[in-house]
Chains A and B, each alone.
Chain A
Amino acid sequence: MMLFLLRMSLKNALRHRLRAALTLAGLAVAILSFGLLSTVVTAWYAGADAASDKRLISRSAISLVFPLPMSYGEKIRGVEGVTGISWANWFGGIYIEPKNFFPQFAVDPPSYLRLYPEFQVDEAERAAFFRDRRGCLVGRKLAQRFGWKVGDTVPLKGTIYPGTWSFVVRGIYEGRDATTDENQFFFHWDYLNEWVLQRYPKRGNATGVFVVGIREGSEAALISERVDNQFRNSLAETLTETEKSFQLSFVAMTDSIVLAIQVVSYVVILIIMAVMANTMAMAARERTAEYATLKALGFGPPVVGWLILLESVLLCALGAGLGILLSFPAVQLVGHALDNLFPVFRIASQTLWLQAGAALVVALVSAAVPAWQSMRIRIVDGLRAIA
């Protein structure tokens, strides 16, 4: 019986070829754009998703623009539970044009790479980067974007540290995981510090954040408190948190944009729901007489209901399937176009589930009213009805 219903509803769905094709196209576009928007939202959280629970970030309690003195490093190292320490300083240089934005950090290379094992560099390149004070280490995607090779010189125009800086690419790192940010640029903090000391002696020997390696992720809260207690009431109080919450605080700063994108992604589902509901309503209206005939032949109201529901689900499944399939190349295309904006841009499995779920909801909602009406209609009225 179910198989029969399925065959019938498939035939019904395809009765109006043009209408079915249009509806399918609409569904595919909607599910595709829903997937793209969800992927944008996921990309926003990429930094937080890639964060390790074995790392804490310590920064000035006032805000990120205030540096911490270098002497804090040794004090933090002495805190119980801390296994390693490194530091990073935002550079904010411009490569040729402001639109070529990518993050640049002045770091202490050996200790930094030890704390970030997900940045994988081959031995020779690593050693070359350590040796050259003007050297830099860049991510694979970043190198690809600008066509840099090992040995190239990269000029950056400083915005915080005025002047033109030039760095030599000594190594290209690869991410260990798919979520690792391969869009960063690292160079020697010593090089930057030397420059600052020459010009602004009072601003030297300082860094934006300390990266603190800890033994156990579960001790994060306790260790953060210990670190912050060390510097309470000092000139530069610290705020220590897990890398994840540090990254999330960036997301939070732009959360109205994330929220807007999320809302809009549901709006597209509503739009297609209206289109789909219309298709189903029209189909049911046109076939009122047929459904009445079915009833007159002795089929119960549930059969009519199932027919309409299955037709709606079939259409949505086809449309959504097409949309989901198209999502993969589309995400790659868009990701390529937006490479400078999002370091990691790929479909999460959760997005696929959401797409399928949205399609199912659209199918059920669109079928509900027509199915209900067709089930209830009296045979005589149905046979008399004109579309």
Chain B
Amino acid sequence: MNLTRVPLSYVWRNLLTRKLTTGLTAGGMALVVFVFATVLMLEAGLKQTLTATGLPQNVVVIRKGSQTEVQSGVSRSEAAIIESQPNIALDSAGRLLSSRESVVLISLKKQGSGKPANVVVRGAGEQGLALRPQVQLLAGRQFRPGSSEIIVGRAIADGFDGVQLGASLRFARRDWLVVGIFDAGKTGFNSEIWGDAEQMMQAFRRINYSALVFQLADSNGYEASRQALEADQRLTTEYKRETRFYADQAQTMATFISILGTVLSVIFSIGAVIGAMITMYAAVANRTGEIGTLRALGYRRSSVMAAFLAESLLLALLGGVMGVVLASFMQFFAVSTMNWQTFSELAFSFTLTPAIVVKSLLFSLFMGLLGGFLPAVRAARMQIVDALRAA
């Protein structure tokens, strides 16, 4: 008799018999997979938020070398020159789709902890909202141009004190009435407060705008327009597509999360792999007699090895599934933290994508393989006689 495959039920029953050991080993792996998946989800959430913030046909203009809107300055004359270039879209009423914006940071207190955080206040031009169709009013109404009215992004309305509908916020020696709450989906605008640009400029006593945003009439003509603008000696500004601009804004944070996540996953997985190894070595040692019997029955060395490897992989998969399920609950939470590059608050959520599920499960199987390989080899190399005698 020459049996080739040890039935899977043997593998499964072995795990079932030692519930505590199986639970603890899988539990350790589940925690590692949880950390691994959570970090990937955080990174995915951040990327999604930033790429969704901009539209590819919009162009952001800031002063050369200034990197962020807050540090930038664009004078009125420069804004007028840029707006006079031909490749700007018009709305149905024939007005230029361009917004001169004034962006500043104010310090607000977080709900609950009362700790201060920097929040972006964006003074938008008349077309500011038309340029960002992703911004939708949830409650209240639009701010009236020329008044001290503001609308507040959802992440700010939910996370900070004193910004509810109808409340008035005091900064720059004025009381600003909150007349609306807006939702901009999963974008960075959700962490901003919007008002009228000219009013903001007066209140903050500024003479220059921070940035200019316009929509291209012909999106493909971006390169040509950029070159034409850069050749203009009167301008000291630089140009980026809005999508690119926001992706650049959190480069540091994305890198930080990704490095931290990789380092943590690698270190933690050492612990879990060791756990799996201990369990599997013990399984092999305790079942020496069984292994001898299996071999005596006619199962090959490779089948015995496959059986133990399968046991380890199954154990790891169990842990992986537990970890992913645990991690999926993180989707209910959002993170609000300071983006170092812009020095302002940014809210984003944990986002579970199919790719992350697959990656996490593969990661857990990889841990199982690492942990189970050496014990499986030991099981396979046993001599039938010795094994039977040991029992």
Contacts and interface: CB of A to CB of B under 8 A. Distances in A.
A274 B117 CA distance: 39
A276 to B, nearest CB: 9
Contacts of A271: 28, 31-32, 268, 271-272, 275
B118 A253 contact: yes
B207 A65 contact: no
B335 interface: yes
A65 B343 CA distance: 9
Interface in A330-387: 369, 387
Given A23-B274, A233-B173, A253-B338, A278 B70 contact: no
A51 interface: no
A289 interface: no
Contacts of A158: 65
Q: Give the contact-size bracket for chain A.
A: 35 or more
A29 interface: yes
Contacts of B106: 62-63
| SS of A interface (majority) | helix
A178 interface: no
Which residue, A18, A261, A369, has most C-beta atoms of chain B within 10 A?
Answer: A18
Contacts of B173: 233, 235, 237
Contacts of B207: 202
A83 to B, nearest CB: 27
B14 interface: no
Nearest to A33: B267
A162 B278 contact: no
Nearest to B28: A274
B64 interface: yes
B362 interface: no
Interface in B239-270: 260, 264, 267-268, 270
A26 B268 CA distance: 9
Interface in A200-259: 202, 233, 235, 237, 239, 249, 252-257
Contacts of A257: 337
Contact of B116 (A252, A254, A260, A268): A252
Contacts of A162: 63-66, 236
B115 A65 contact: no
B335 A256 contact: yes
Given A30-B271, A162-B236, A92 B71 contact: yes
Contact of A26 (B205, B275, B286): B275
Given A274-B24, A281-B24, 9 more contacts: A25-B274, A63-B118, A65-B70, A66-B104, A92-B71, A157-B65, A162-B63, A249-B115, A253-B345
27 contacts: A22-B281, A26-B274, A29-B267, A29-B270, A61-B107, A62-B172, A63-B118, A64-B105, A65-B104, A65-B105, A159-B66, A159-B71, A235-B205, A252-B115, A253-B116, A257-B337, A261-B260, A267-B35, A271-B271, A274-B31, A275-B28, A275-B272, A278-B28, A278-B275, A281-B24, A282-B279, A286-B286
